[in-house]
Amino acid sequence: MNTQPTIRKNGALLAAMSHQNRPMHPSKRPSRPTGGSHP
């Protein structure tokens, strides 16, 4: 019964990890200015 929320949590965690581990698209996600896109 606690499998749905678990999968959801895992998905979110995986997505966050993937985004953090793949800082190659600063154009799509300007949230993390790793290269200093904005002034």
Q: For the chain, first and last CA: distance in Å? A: 48
- pTM, entire model: 0.32
The closest alpha carbon to 26, from 17, 39, 36, 18, belongs to 36
- The one-letter amino acid code at 8 reads R
pLDDT of residue 26: 55
What does the DSSP assignment read for 1-39?
A: --HHHHHHHHHHHHHHHHHHH-TT-TTT-TTS-SS----
* Mean pLDDT per 10-residue interval, the chain, length 39 residues: 73 71 56 53
Q: Distance (Å, rounded) from C-alpha 9 to C-alpha 16?
A: 11
